[in-house]
Amino acid sequence: MDITRRTLAAAAAAAAVAGLPARAAAPDFKQGFRKTPLIIGHRGASGERPESTLAAFRLAIAEGADFIEPDLVVTKDGHLVVRHENEISQTTDVALRPEFENRLTTRQIQGQGVSGWFTEDFTLEELKTLRCRERLPKLRPESARFNGQEAIPTYQEVIDLAKAESARLKRVIGTYPEMKHASYFAGIGLPMEGRLADILKANGLDGANAPVFIQCFDVLPLKTIMTLCQAPRIQLVSPEGGPTDVTLRYKDMVSASGMKAIATYANGVGPDWSMVIPTVDGGIGAATSLVADAHAAGLAVHPWTVRAENFFLPPKQRIGTDPAAHGDVDAVYRALYAAGVDGLFSDFPGLAVKARG
């Protein structure tokens, strides 16, 4: 079986486990990865609880998310923990802890100088003493009311939650881990691909039919983990820039020919949602060819990240002038669904579920 057929078969098996219609051949896949798009709770219900906490993941599941998405970084002693970045001063109380004052430092992360406190300088035991907080308190003051209530979870704890809730609710709830700054961690002697593959294997989640999608903005980590386990993989892309580990531009990667190259090592593509539905004259424009080109290459499309606040919406979808107030986010959901996406990331998964109908 060649690479393209293997990726299609893997995606079909994953679809079957997640309750999606399987496909027998590539032409069927052009109709889309599934008729009912997946709802992916972006760092949980991160518009309503401090992101990447078990509380945020629980709420996302309660609101109907099909998958919950943890960003993974590595600790000093090699554990995979769930944080948006390896720099943790924006999402924890570490800056207020005198016992860790001397760990303030500056690192070069993907070519940029970043000052703060980094997970790779802490053991898991030390990180567990910290408490999580809302990253965007001015936009999400209600979420900030839950500051200090949660510890940093490990990826294993997120898997345990998804399994327990799957059994309780009698529906499959998957996890959608992102290997965050994978090339950086490999460069400091803490590669995450093997660690992630080992956790998936230990939990029976390393097969092509597992309710898991592994995502990364870099290319080589996806190619590496492809050799370690069969779990489906998603190449993340952004409107600007490119991967840090290969000489490519994201906008070229999502061309019709670029999609064919992605299909040799991934099962889908995760674009910024504006790459599917651009803003035109301050409002929602017509869909680009990205979904059609991806489907033609045998790739699912899971755009990120739809947020409800005016601050994140096109001008014509804003309601009032308060940047923290919710705008007409339903218009964004409807446009993405109409474009044929196979899933989408949302900070408010309950709203995405409601709009999906």
Tens-digit pLDDT profile for residues 192-202: 999 999 999 99
- Calculate mean pLDDT across residues 328-357: 97
3-state secondary structure the chain: CCHHHHHHHHHHHHHHHCCCCCCCCHHHHCCCCCCCCEEEEECCCCCCCCCCCHHHHHHHHHCCCCEEECEEEECCCCCEEECCCCECCCCECHHHCHHHHHHCEEEEECCEEEEECEHHHCCHHHHCCCCECCCCCCCCHHHHCCCCCCCCCEHHHHHHHHHHHHHHHCCCCEECCEECCHHHHHHCCCCCHHHHHHHHHHCCCCCCCCCECEEECCCHHHHHHHCCCCCCEEEEECCCCCCCCCCCCHHHHCCHHHHHHHCCCCCEEEEEHHHCCCEECCEECCCCCHHHHHHHCCCEECCECECCEHHHCCHHHCCCCCCCCECCHHHHHHHHHHCCCCEEEECCHHHHHHHHC
- Calculate mean pLDDT across residues 191-218: 96
Residue 123 has pLDDT above 50, yes or no: yes
pLDDT tier for residue 257 given thresholds of 50, 70 and 90: very high
Q: Return the higher-pLDDT residue of 29 and 323.
A: 323
Closest listed residue to residue 329, CA positions, set 345, 351, 349: 351
| Model pLDDT, residue 34 | 57
Are residues 45 and 63 in contact, defined by beta-carbon separation less than 8 angstroms?
yes
Residue 114 has pLDDT above 60, yes or no: yes
CATH of domain 3-85+138-356: 3.20.20.190
Bridging pattern class, strands 71-74 and 80-82:
antiparallel
pLDDT tier for residue 111 given thresholds of 50, 70 and 90: confident
Tens-digit pLDDT profile for residues 129-186: 999 999 999 999 999 999 999 999 999 999 999 999 999 999 999 999 999 999 999 9
Query: Among all residues, which ones are annotated catalytic?
Result: 42, 84
| Model pLDDT, residue 21 | 32
For residue 50, CA distances in Å to 27, 140, 148 come to 42, 9, 9
Domain boundaries, the chain: 3-85+138-356
